[in-house]
Structure 1
Amino acid sequence: MDGLDLTEAWLKLNALEFRPQRARALLEAFDRDPSALFAASAADWRGRVPGLTDKHVSRLSAIQGRSFAPERETLARLCGRIIPYDDPCYPANLRPLPDAPPVLIARGALVTEDKFSIAIVGSRRAGQYGRTLAQRFARELAAHGLTVISGGARGVDTHAHQGALEGGGRTVAFLGSGVDVCYPTDNRALFDRIAGGGGAVVSEFPLGTRPEPWRFPARNRLISGMSLGVLVIESPADSGSLITAREAGDQGRDVFAIPGPVGDGRNSGCHRLIQDGAKLVETVDDILGELGVLSLRSPDSPAPVPNLPPEQRRILDMLALQPRHVDSLIAESGLTAPQVTGILTLLEMRGLARRVPGNAFVRVL
């Protein structure tokens, strides 16, 4: 099977738009080979995957018989790439989540260092206060080596991406459309700049997908899922950024919020988050301290060992100079896979643990 055929098979899987759990079950039933999946018959699909309905089989058959030459041409024109969930460049923080997409489509590059990331979200109709803070915080976080994740929308998102680029760092924009559909259209130059070397423009949706309203809440779980935490800036009570904050909490991520002027409705969502337990942020150091990060760009600075939260201390104590596989850490600790992988990432950021080949970790200190 040559590369083009495999690319087309991944494009077909992506075009099904099945729930991630369903799509991954299909892949697992065919040894994670999408080309084998689309070479199979309807009887094979029904026999190998429990719970497939007539609607599922009809959709599979329709996609199986369709040519994806136009999509392959679009992908080539954009210098885009397919990133399956078992690809080393697939976001490490996103992969363990149960609703992680089986395949992403990206312009630009995702890199392993993107696991050290923070999401910044807020209102599309942000005022000067929100726009200025988004750009400043993103610039400073990027200068410390964190990748800034956002949604490419107007307002806070746009200024977060711009700030990260100004800080000489990386930024990732998750779209609520296909990566070939620029929305909003006035961010075309920004997306080109991100994809051209400052990070990646990414989507779980098929090429050509228009930005329908329901797709944005679905997209939000990826913004929070790829990050270690979510910073909410200037968010009214009805803002979609609160969906991202809720997803972050459900995924075990930290939620941060910046307060605004009392009585300003544009900040009521942030104030509610703080009342509900989000961490109040005034400076970038508040975020870095909570994540246990001094700076990823100052390797001479020693990582602080004391005062680890109990679950982080438990995982650190389980590590030694001999590699420990992640699965064994999950089994012994009694924590969930997302919890353990998140803790390992934080320990790695603090210089206390190091990833080694074979999905294993060793203790550094």
Structure 2
Amino acid sequence: MPTELEYRIALTQVPQIGCVAAKTLLQHFGNATDIFKAKKSMLSAIDGIGTVRAESIKQYTDFELCSSEVAFIEKHHIQPLCLLDEAYPKRLLNCYDSPTMLYYKGEANLNQSRIVSIIGTRKNSDYGKHCVQELMESLAAHEVLIVSGLAFGIDTLAHRDALKHKLPTVAVLAHGLQTIYPAENKKLAKQMLEEGGGILTEFMSGTGPDKHNFPTRNRIVAGMADATIVVETDVKGGSMITAELANNYNRDVLAYPGKITDSRSRGCNHLIKTNKAALITSGQDVLEMMNWLPQEKKAPAQRSLFIELSADERILYDLLQPSPLHIDEINLRSQLSASAVATALLTLELQGVVASLPGKMYKLL
């Protein structure tokens, strides 16, 4: 009889069952075991599943593969994270295509209060190198988790400079944890693990760094951070895909401008020009835009009593009483739909009850 973990892994291998369908099923049943034990008629009746997917689940039998993966996980001290788990990166839960399973090795907190992803070209200039170095110097004192993809260029600089300034850093990989790609960064990955960072992937062991895996990986880089910072990139490539994903996930995107004659800055300039990224010139800009600088404590003003708050507005009002919250945290803790939260927040803003802050934070006035 397969274990719950083996059933969770199996769910990622069933044909016709992608991340969206798997998320629907896990939210419906509360565990993976009951999904595979459910009758076909029960599965097909779930919205978004239907008879084809239900049949695919009932026909899946390759649990030996899942058992082998569990053996690999245990041998290499890997932490499997299902979207039902407490340690799963909660920011990803608000992405419609949250990975069903993640495989994590390391000690960094994937739910740290401040997380930025740093992306850019594999062929950076000295200007890009300077931007990353200055950025890390600015973030060093603010307990920020640095996420990148361990690629050559900007990714490597981000990880190395994070380590230099004692910042935890996590690499999101486009392959299984049986290897490190590129091989030249094996030593860097080892150092990250030794110094409290981590390596993360949604791919099972044995999966190679195939080209089509990288755009899939990029959605994790975009979705698990509060902001994505683009240092240097041309108008086409993985960094632009990641920036687009971050915008679609309602994350902040920040970009360093560059010379109009430099192909390595064309992508950043385009993002800024089309209002898909905020222009930054320093790490201080990031801290200010994300509202991560220490705030002066003021004597609390007595709030007026509001009599005519709707039920949804009252839920958000009570949530925001202790301290400002990020939009993702509001969505998670309110247990309201995203549209209901947006409507209630807008109404509260118009009434002068709530104010929006940089970094998609909200506070009571």
Band the TM-score falls in, shorter-chain normalisation: 0.7 to 0.9
1:178 aligns with 2:176: yes
**Counterparts of residues 90-239 of structure 1 (less than 5 Å):** 90-111=88-109, 113-239=111-237
1:253 aligns with 2:247: no
| Identical-pair percentage | 28
Tell me which moved more, 324-333 or 133-142.
324-333
Which secondary structure state, in structure 2, belongs to the residue aligned with residue 38 of structure 1? helix
CA contact (8 A) 1:79 1:107 kept: yes
CA contact (8 A) 2:131 2:282 kept: no
How far apart are residue 11 of structure 1 and its match?
Answer: 2.1
* Equivalent residue pairs, number: 330
Instruction: Pick the aligned partner of 1:302 from 296, 299, 307.
Output: 296
> Counterpart of 2:23 in structure 1: which amino acid?
R
1:327 aligns with 2:321: no
CA contact (8 A) 2:116 2:147 kept: yes
CA contact (8 A) 1:14 1:205 kept: no
> Counterpart of 1:146 in structure 2: which amino acid?
V
Point out where structure 2 has 5 or more consecutive residues left out of the alignment. Answer: 300-314, 324-329, 346-355
CA contact (8 A) 1:10 1:34 kept: yes
| Cα distance in 2 between the residues matched to 1:50 and 1:256 | 35
**Counterparts of residues 339-350 of structure 1 (less than 5 Å):** none
How far apart are residue 125 of structure 1 and its match?
Answer: 1.9
Q: Highest Rg: 1 or 2?
A: 2
> 1:66-98: CA deviations, max 9, x gaps?
343321222123211111112221112211221
Scaled by the length of structure 2, the TM-score of the pair is: 0.78
> 1:239-282: CA deviations, max 9, x gaps?
21011111111111111111223411111111111111221111
1:74 aligns with 2:72: yes
Computed over aligned residues only, the root mean square deviation of the Cα atoms, in angstroms, reads 3.5
Specify the alignment match of 1:23 in structure 2.
22
Tell me which moved more, 252-261 or 5-14.
5-14
Specify the alignment match of 1:284 in structure 2.
283
CA contact (8 A) 2:255 2:271 kept: yes
How far apart are residue 56 of structure 1 and its match?
Answer: 6.7
Specify the alignment match of 2:351 in structure 1.
none
- Cα 1:57/1:192, change in 2 over 3 Å: farther
> Counterpart of 1:319 in structure 2: which amino acid?
L
How far apart are residue 329 of structure 1 and its match?
Answer: 9.7
Point out where structure 1 has 5 or more consecutive residues left out of the alignment. Answer: 296-300, 306-313, 337-342, 354-362
| Cα distance in 2 between the residues matched to 1:261 and 1:121 | 18
How far apart are residue 59 of structure 1 and its match?
Answer: 6.4
Specify the alignment match of 1:11 in structure 2.
9
